[in-house]
Amino acid sequence: MSIGVSSGLPSVYLVKQYSGQLRCEDGKALGPLWWIELRLVVLMEWVLSGAVGAGRGEEFSNYSHLIPGRKALLIGSVLCLFQLLDGLLTSIGVSRFGLEIEGNPWVRFLMQEYGCITALGTVKLFAVAVVIFLTFFTNRIPWLNSAMGALSCAYLLMAILPWTYILFVQPLFV
C-alpha cells in the first residue's frame, strides 16, 4: 500500500514482507511501532492536504480507519484537558491541605513515596497517553466514543467540580 502526498512531505510506502520483516520501499526495515508512525504520517498528510475543512479527501478514503473522527478527537481532547486540570487542582489541593485530601489511595501512596509533582506528573501523563491510544481506536470499537463521553462527564462531576468547589468556592463562605 502507498500513501501519496502533495504537500512536500516524504511519502511512506509499505512493501510486503521480506523474510518475515516489513520494509519501506527504500529497503529500510520498519521499527516495532511502525503502525503508530504510519498513522501519524497519514494524519499529517490528511491535515496538510486541506481535508480537515472539507471532510476526508478521496485520496485518504482507504485510510479512514486510521484517523479518528472529529467527535472522537473532541472527546479525547476534553478528556486530556480534564486530566491535566485534575493534576493542577490536585497539586494545589495537596499543597494547601496535605496528602490526606487526595481521595485515590494509590495516587496518595505514590505521592508519599516519590513526591507530589513527580507522582502526579507520571500518573497524568500515563492517563493522557491512554486517552490518546483509545482515541485512535474509536473507529474500530463502536462503543468507545460513548464510553469516552461518559467518562468525560464522570470525570467532570467526580474530580473537576469537587476540586473547584473545595479550592475556590468553599473558602468564600468560611
Residues 160 and 106 in one domain: yes
Q: Once rounded to an integer, what is the mean pLDDT over residues 135-164?
A: 93
Q: Which of 41, 66, 91 is the last residue before a domain boundary? A: 66
What is the pLDDT confidence band of residue 139, given thresholds at 50, 70 and 90? confident
Residue 85 forms beta bridges with which residues?
none
Q: Residue 16 has what pLDDT?
A: 42
Residues 103 and 131 in one domain: yes
Residues 42 and 89 in one domain: no
Residues 94 and 56 in one domain: no
What is the pLDDT confidence band of residue 8, given thresholds at 50, 70 and 90? very low
Q: Which of 66, 96, 122 is the last residue before a domain boundary? A: 66
Residues 57 and 142 in one domain: no
Number of domains in the chain: 2
Count of residues making up the chain:
174
Residues 44 and 82 in one domain: no
Residues 37 and 76 in one domain: no
Q: Is the model's pTM score more than 0.95?
A: no
The whole domain housing 31 covers 2-66
Q: Residue 68 has what pLDDT?
A: 85
Residues 43 and 80 in one domain: no
Q: Which of 29, 45, 66 is the last residue before a domain boundary? A: 66
Q: Once rounded to an integer, what is the mean pLDDT over residues 116-133?
A: 95
Residues 62 and 112 in one domain: no
Residues 91 and 37 in one domain: no
